[in-house]
Every structure is written in C-alpha cells, then in structure tokens.
Amino acid sequence: MKKALVLTILLFLIFGFAVKSQQVPEFNQKMYVDSLNHLYINKNQPVYLWLSTTENRDSARLLQSEDSKEYTNPLYLDTEGINTVRTPSKVDKKTKKVIFPKSDIIFELYADGISPVTTIQFLGTKKHIKNQKVYYGKGLKINLKASDQVSGVKSIYYSINGENYTAFNGVIEFSNEKEVTFKYFAVDNVSNIEEVKTKVFHVDISPPVIEKSIKGNSTLNILSKNASIVLTSKDKLSGVKVTYYSIDGKNPIRYSKPLPAYLFSGGDHKLAYFSEDNVGNSSIKDDNEDKEFDFSFVFDNTGPKVELIPEGTCSYKKNGILYLSRDCKISFDANDDYTAVKKIEYAFNSQNKYNTFSEAFTLPENNKTQLLYYRAFDELGNRSKTYKQRVITDDKSPTTWITYGQPQFFNRDTLFINSKTTISLHAKDEITGVKKTEYSINGNEFTEYTKAFQIETHGLNSIKFKSTDKVENIEITKESIVVADNSSPEIFARFSIEKIRTKMYKEKELPVYPSYSKMYIAATDQHSGTSKITYSINDGSFLNYATNNQITKGNVFIKVGLYKIIIKATDKLGNESTKEIMFYTAE
C-alpha cells in the first residue's frame, strides 16, 4: 500500500466575532490561501504540526519534538513574511531513492503579523483650518484606500458620529451640514486589525450672511455725500474669506472698508455684493431667494433748485433787474430731484445773516437797487447754489397826456373838434415802462388804447384816460372835456324883392324875380361858428361872399333868364354845408 506523508497545519482561532455600536468588530484570526495557493498565517496564531500517512485527516498524529519540546505544540513563527518547514533530502516518489545532489524538501508558510494601513482622501471641496478645527465645504466626498504588505487587505470599515461600523464599498458623500467624527480602519486576510483612526471635521455648506447698513445721513435709499455703505459678513463655521461688491454691473472689487457715497457720481446706482467663506460657499452662487444681495440707491449730492416767484402780475424783469410794485409780495418755490426740501433762506444786500422763508413778503422800504440772496437745503443737508437777484421797488405810476389833431378850435376854455379830428394818448413811465393805456368816452367801459381815435358823438364829450406800468402801478384817472361839432352851418338866402310869378322848369316850379333883384346870403353855426361863405353863379368860380359880394348889387341878374346859385358855408372846424337856389329873372 502506497503511503503519503501529509503535513497538516491546524490553526486554532482564539477570538470570537461580534459587532456592537461604536465598537471595533472582532475578527477571528485565521489562515488564508490566495489564488497562488500561498498559505498565510497570522503571526500571532499558535501552530501545531500534524502528520498523516494518508490523505485522510482523521488519521493524522500530532508531531512531538524531543529536541525542542518546550517550544512546540504550539510553536510560533518568528519571521514576518515567508517561513519554511523542512525535511532533509528529496526522495523520488517512485524509486524511493534520494535525489542527488541532495536538497531539502521545503514547505512555504507566510506569516503576517502586521496590520494594514489605510489612507483617507477628502475630495470635491476646499479645506480650511480655523482655531484648530477642520472645515470642508459643499460637495465633500471621502475615499478610503488601504494596503497590506503580506496577506493583503480584506476590508475597510468606517463609522460616522458613533454609528455602527460599515464596510467601505465606495466614495462616501456628505450633503448635510454638521460636525463629523469619522473613524476608520482596515482588516487583512488573516484578521490583523488596523488601529482605528479618527478624523474630526465640520461640513460647512452654508454661505455667509451679509448685512448691509448705511452710516451717515440718508433717507430710505437716498444717500448724502457724508453717508457710507457698510457691508458686514458673518459665517458661523469656516468663517468669511472675502467680500466683493460691484457698482452698476462693473467688475467685482474686494471689499475692505465702508464705501463712501462721495465716490459715486450723482444719481441712480445699483450695488451688488456677495461673500465667500473659507470653504468656497458663496452667497451669490447659492440659491438664496429669500436674501437680498443688491441695493439700488441714489447718491444725492446736489441741492434743490429754487425759483423766486413774485405773486400776481406786480413784477417785471428787464436787463436782469426785477422790478416790483410797493405792495408786491415775493415767494419762493424749491424742489429737489430726490428728497424733500427742508428750508429756504434769503437775505438782503449781505450774506452775513439769512432769514428762513416762511411766508410771502414785500421788499424793505427802499427805492434803490437791492441785492436779494436766496438758497435752499434738502433733507440730506445738500445746499443749493446761492442765487442772487437785483430788485428795485417801483412805486411811481405812469404819466399820460392827450393830444388832438386837426381840425380843432379853441374858444375861451372850450375845445371844439369834429369827427375827423384824431385823438392821441401818450404815456411814459420812468422805471419799468408803460404796460397799457386805457380810455373811456362818456362813461363807457375803459378800452385799451392801441391807436388814435375819433369821436362821432356830437356835442359835449368826456374822455377819461389812465395808464398802468409793468408792475401794475395804476395812474389816477385823468379827464379831458371836448365839444364835438359834427354839424355844418345852416345857410340862409334872401332876395331884395318878392317873386313876381313862377315858371316851370323840368316839371319843377321855379320863382321869377325882377332882373334888378339883389340876393343876400347868411349862415349860422350852432357851436364853433361860421368861418367862410362862398358862392357861384351858373357853375362859375366860387367867390368869397365876405370879400366879393357883387350878388348884393342890382346889376348881377340884368340878363333875363335861368340862374343857378350854389352857396357853401364852412364852420371853424371845416364842417361844410351846400345850398343850391334856381330861379328866373324877367323884365
């Protein structure tokens, strides 16, 4: 019967296995055979050698050593890594003879008494250490890698914040903000356990909180020139690394101190700002819809605009000088582009002392040129420019006079005119000038004078007139009495003898006078009196009756026949009347 020598190495595991919360699991020390049939034994395990002449393990007998009795059963391997069990001389399995050259039969054993080594990798985010505390940002991942020099790594285990240890099978992700106590270790294939390693760190996924405040004088979102914008950033974990701001969409600038408003141009602006903490959390990159990270504001660096307003129509401006009537009141109106007007001030002739404007006022009693200074302040303390206005009080009314054109006739204290006489009004004002002249005829409503006029009303007429200057000083009404004579003289003609008969002429009955008859002419005028009488005989030249009165002689009508006498009478205003007389003469 063929016999085989079987070397059996039995390893008795000493430890039991149990996993408890936050306790390192217990692993039984054991043997391990890899894919190359290498046998690995935990160096700390006892080794017993059993010998059998068959492949049946049940017939194996425990080897005893006479030479090293006290170091066997069990024996312990002394060398890390490869160990050997030897027997002298290799024997051919068929011939049973020693093989030459002689060499030992060697059984290889691998002793492993060194624990694995695990390294940890923090991935996907930034790291920051503050006050000896470690912080990681959003997107943190942990990867564990272990190595073993002999039997190889079997598993890696980790525990988070006291939870049960879990076998590592891939990258660990952290999505919640918290403080983490992370423990980990590795076990090799013969149950050497690495000493537990611990990492304590904070997962910080919250961005900083920024508080904006205004230092200095402001109202709502309107900033004065002494105001400044203060940005205060706070982060409860890793801390604020940097704060940036941007004005009107320009490139961000690192914030280091309050932003004085006077650095900006006047008008509307938009300030955007954000902070970043030491692990990369940014207030602008994260979804913070409930937070406001921009600020629209107005930098008001200009004062109000002020307007001087005389009340009513009692003022006039010429060549930069404002003329006012004695009772004319001055008021001011001011407005500001952004804020309310706080107050308006004014002063006369000197800026040493200003008065606060509260109600309309009149100029001081002074007909000389005065300088009126005025200015305004808005609610932020911005002062307007100082306005200066030269003012003069005009308390003198215009002077108006009347002139009459031709024809006119003055008799004693009465002026006579007619409907052809032009009437002109003249006015002057030494300071502001005449604004308008008005007149009224015979008590009718006043009419503004624009050009010369005539009077059609016959008889006594009253012309009242007055002028107003450009600051509404009104002249005392004046009156001119004039008689309008628009009637012509009445002509009278008489013969020295009565007619002797009548005679028809073109169906008209005419008187017949003796050829030696004479004619006498006269005229009367109701107002101005007759100035001249002329006559013509049978369409001849007109003769002045006063200087050529042949018609009163007895020889004018000697020639028997038809006569036509035309008589004209003119009064002293040129009003003229005409009278025609036709008759016959006979023997």
SS3 for 119-155, per residue?
Answer: EEEEECCCEEEECCEEEECCCCEEEEEEECCCCCEEE
Instruction: Report yes or no on 477 lying in a domain.
Output: yes
Structure confidence at residue 7 (pLDDT): 41
Is residue 524 in a domain? yes
Beta strands, E only, 6-104: 6-10, 31-33, 39-42, 48-52, 61-62, 81-87
The verdict on 218 and 277 lying in the same domain is: yes
Token code pair at residue 116? 């694995």
Q: What is the 3-state secondary structure (H, E, C) of 344-394?
A: EEEEECCCCCCEECCCCECCCCCCCCEEEEEEEEECCCCECCCEEEEEEEC
314 is a domain residue: yes
Torsion of the alpha carbons at 487, 488, 490 and 495, rounded to the nearest 10: -170
Residue 35 has which token pair? Answer: 């894919």
Residues 92 and 10 in one domain: yes
CATH number at residue 149: 2.60.40.10
Task: Report the distance separating Cα 297 and Cα 267, nearest Å.
Answer: 8
Q: How many Cβ atoms from other residues are within 10 Å of residue 465's Cβ?
A: 23
Looking at the fold, whether 12 and 105 belong to one and the same domain comes out as yes
Q: What is the pLDDT of residue 290?
A: 45
Query: Which residues constitute the domain of residue 152?
Result: 117-203
Do residues 48 and 76 share a domain? Answer: yes
User: Closest by alpha carbon to 498, among 518, 482, 484, 525?
Assistant: 518
pLDDT of residue 292: 55
| 1 in any annotated domain | no
Considering the domain boundaries, does residue 219 fall inside one? yes
Single residue among 440, 462, 484 that ends a domain in this structure: 484
Final residue of a structural domain among 83, 112, 141: 112
User: Do both 155 and 135 map to the same domain?
Assistant: yes
Per-residue confidence (pLDDT) for residue 552, from 0 to 100: 87
137/163 same-domain check: yes
Kindly state whether residue 310 falls inside one of the protein's structural domains.
Answer: yes
- Predicted local confidence at residue 291, as pLDDT: 53
Q: Do 100 and 125 fall within a single domain?
A: no
**Angstrom distance (rounded) from CA 155 to CA 193:** 10
Chain-centre distance of CA 125, in angstroms? Answer: 42
Please indicate, yes or no, whether residues 238 and 180 belong to a single structural domain of this protein.
Answer: no
In angstroms, the CA 193 to CA 368 distance is 112
Residue 11: the pLDDT is: 38
- Say yes or no: 247 and 219 in one domain: yes
Is there a domain that residue 342 lies in?
Answer: yes
What is the DSSP-derived secondary structure letter of residue 304? Answer: -
Number of domains in the chain: 6
Q: How far is CA 266 from CA 220, 228, 301, 336, in A?
A: 16, 14, 6, 13
Strand order across the 209-215 sheet: 209-215, 228-234, 259-260
Answer whether residue 30 is part of any domain: yes
- The pLDDT assigned to 367 comes to 67
Same domain, 21 and 75: yes
Same domain for 152 and 218, yes or no, is: no
Domain boundary among 203, 225, 254: 203
Cα angle 582, 575, 551 (rounded to 5 degrees) comes to 35
Are 429 and 518 part of one and the same domain?
no
Per-residue pLDDT of the chain (587 residues; tens, 9 = 90+): 333 333 444 433 333 333 345 688 888 888 999 999 999 999 889 998 888 888 887 888 888 888 888 988 898 888 899 998 888 888 888 988 989 898 888 888 999 999 999 999 999 999 999 999 999 999 999 999 999 999 999 999 999 999 999 999 999 999 999 999 999 999 999 999 999 999 999 999 999 999 999 998 888 889 888 999 999 999 999 999 999 999 998 999 999 999 998 888 889 999 999 999 999 999 875 454 445 578 899 988 999 999 999 998 889 999 999 999 988 999 999 999 999 999 999 999 988 999 999 999 998 876 678 999 999 999 999 999 999 999 999 889 999 999 999 999 888 888 999 999 999 999 999 999 999 999 999 999 999 999 999 998 889 999 999 999 999 999 999 999 999 988 899 999 999 999 999 999 999 999 999 999 999 999 998 888 888 999 999 999 999 988 888 888 878 899 999 999 999 999 888 889 999 999 999 98
